[in-house]
């Protein structure tokens, strides 16, 4: 974890779940974290707790579907801490449902957050990384993109679109920038709360109760990738419950 100390790391979707766990874990190991999410009150509380524990943190209300918000988050990192070492694109929506229900608005929200939100982050951070000569993109994806199942078509599609974008970005990035994808399986978070199909939501919640792992497991995977020496690029990490098929 020595390579994490002092790094400035942006985390989107940081107000709960994987984002919050990652913020706490990285801050505890010496990173300076910049937190973004739509729930500003939770961000403020988390920032205060990190600070009281001896860490360094800043936050801004951030809707990743708005390009200006991500630009502002990167600017906050630079203003507060003078650099940016990593951008963790964690914000995501899983509004899963069968295609026949034609929940087009849900599809559009997932595209806006899961896909365009990552692209907006790249647009904000890539010029900074190029100027600095270093930087690391970390994308939180999903095992739903590795094993395609009914009801998750659009959700998995957005995650696999990011997987494709990340690979192209890695190849274009050259020897100075790193790109990592982390694909969690079932994790104990409030992820299912936004689902609009009650039957699918109930199924997901039941499965979570049976096998889900703590979000700290994902935080440790992220820290592993970020903590590697500058000449080591960890491309893909899959972290799921042992019981998950």
Q: Which residues are catalytic?
A: 155
Whole-number Å distance between alpha carbons of 10 and 83: 11
Is residue 23 within 8 A of residue 48, CB to CB? The reply is: no
Is residue 5 within 8 A of residue 26, CB to CB? The reply is: no
> Strand pairing of 177-184 and 135-140?
parallel
Give exposure, 56-70, as e/b (b: 16+ Cβ within 10 Å): bbbbbbbbbbebebb
Is residue 155 within 8 A of residue 147, CB to CB? The reply is: no
């Amino acid at each position: 974890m020595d390579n994490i100390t002092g790094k400035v790391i942006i985390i989107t979707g940081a107000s709960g779940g994987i984002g919050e766990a990652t913020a706490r874990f990285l801050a505890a190991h010496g990173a300076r974290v910049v937190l973004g999410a739509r729930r500003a009150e939770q961000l403020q509380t988390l920032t205060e707790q990190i600070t009281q524990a001896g860490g360094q943190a800043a936050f801004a209300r951030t809707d990743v579907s708005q390009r200006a918000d991500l630009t502002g988050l990167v600017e906050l990192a630079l203003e507060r801490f003078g650099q940016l070492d990593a951008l963790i694109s964690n914000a995501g929506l899983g509004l899963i449902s069968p295609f026949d229900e034609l929940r087009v608005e849900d599809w559009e929200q997932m595209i806006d957050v899961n896909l365009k939100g990552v692209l907006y982050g790249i647009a904000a951070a890539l010029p900074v990384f190029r100027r600095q000569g270093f930087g690391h993109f970390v994308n939180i994806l999903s095992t739903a993109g590795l094993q395609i199942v009914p009801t998750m078509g659009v959700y998995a599609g957005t995650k696999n679109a990011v997987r494709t974008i990340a690979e192209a970005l890695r190849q274009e990035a050259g020897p100075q920038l790193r790109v990592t994808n982390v694909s969690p399986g079932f994790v104990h978070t409030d992820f299912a709360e936004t689902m609009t199909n009650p039957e699918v939501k109930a199924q997901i919640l039941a499965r979570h109760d049976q096998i889900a792992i703590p979000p700290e497991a994902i935080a440790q995977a992220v820290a592993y990738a970020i903590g590697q020496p500058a000449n080591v690029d960890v491309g893909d990490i899959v972290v799921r419950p042992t019981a998950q098929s």
